[in-house]
Amino acid sequence: MEFKHFLPSAILKPYIRHYYSFESDSATEFDDIVFPSGDMEVIFNLGGGTWESSVEGNFIKTPPIELWGQITKPLPIKSKGKHSMLGIKFFTHSAAYFFNDEIGVFNDRIFDLSDILGTAVKGLHEQLLETTDLTQRLGLLERFLIQRLVANEKKVFKVDKVADILKSIKRNPEENSIGNIASNHGITPRYLQKLIYQNTGLSAKSFHKINRFQHSLQLMAKNDQPFTSIAYECGYFDQSHFIRDFKSFTGTTPSDYIENRSPVNTLLQS
């Protein structure tokens, strides 16, 4: 397996965390679990392999153009065949620039993006399939995203406000600071919560918990600290609090995760 990141152009840097490509030479089948990241993604499947995701306990084949909503709990997936994929990873707030729906409607599911954006994204997928040159493929993505950005420019003020609020929450993660953050932005706590959910699919509390969980994964990847140190560095009350939250997002304990790192999540955390 090969997983590579690519940075967006200057005009899209405020909105796109990165692009990525995923290639697998082996047709070996495997099961995996995707963890909450706090970010939404779009994935173009350009190879012969297929993916399945769990929906209410049943595995369903994912579409050729995948829109990943906010994942808030462990999501089991299955891989079959050789893969060639090109993905877009948005910042937590920035997918709202590119879609007309409230972002929360996409939570914990993988949608067919062509059902949402129609013929334009189907045409993009066909263009991506017509070339194997990665630079050309990234250029096609950029042109498509810039067109969407221009078409939705009226959203800029509101979504930028959400970005500022999320930065404030990262700086002041305690739950009792939400009222102060809302006051600093000239809005009520209730409207703050509504604004965040509409544009990220997350509550303020969920955003903080996922951000803290992702920080713990980054520290665990270095494999140089005991769990107690990781727990306190990430802002958990104690190690048992850390383990409880970790299990809610992964379905396993931190020690079991370290011993049985799965293919996809190992790549995603590298």
For 116-132, what is each residue's pLDDT tens digit? 999 999 999 999 999 99
What is the three-class DSSP state of 83? coil
Residue listed under structure tokens 């096609």: 140
Percent of the chain with pLDDT over 90: 74
Whether the CB-CB separation of 201 and 40 falls below 8 Å is answered with yes
Give the number of C-alpha atoms closer than 13 A to the C-alpha of residue 121, restricted to the C-beta side: 20
Q: What is the pLDDT of residue 174?
A: 55
Residues 6+ apart with CB under 8 A from 223: 258
**Domain boundaries along the sequence of the chain:** 2-151, 154-202, 205-268
Q: Which phi-psi region, left, alpha or beta, contains residue 57 (left: φ > 0; alpha: ψ -120 to 50)? A: left
Count the helix, strand and coil residues of the chain and give each as a percent rounded to the nearest 5.
50, 20, 30
For 127-156, what is each residue's pLDDT tens digit? 999 999 999 999 999 999 999 999 888 888
Beta bridge partners of 185: none
Q: What is the pLDDT of residue 103?
A: 93
Residues 6+ apart with CB under 8 A from 120: 144
Mean pLDDT along residues 185-198: 92
Q: What is the rounded distance in angstroms from the CA atom of residue 49 to the CA atom of residue 85?
A: 10
Which DSSP state fits 98?
A: T
Residue listed under structure tokens 């600290």: 225
Fold classification of 2-151 (topology level): Jelly Rolls (2.60.120)
Mean pLDDT along residues 25-35: 84
Q: Does residue 197 carry a pLDDT above 80?
A: yes
Q: Does residue 162 carry a pLDDT above 60?
A: yes
Per-residue pLDDT band for 270 (boundaries 50, 70, 90) equals very low
Beta bridge partners of 60: 53
**pTM of the complete model:** 0.91
Residues constituting the chain: 270
Residues 6+ apart with CB under 8 A from 6: 18, 19, 20, 21, 138
For 31, the enclosing helix (H) or strand (E) is strand 30-34
CATH for 205-268 is: 1.10.10.60
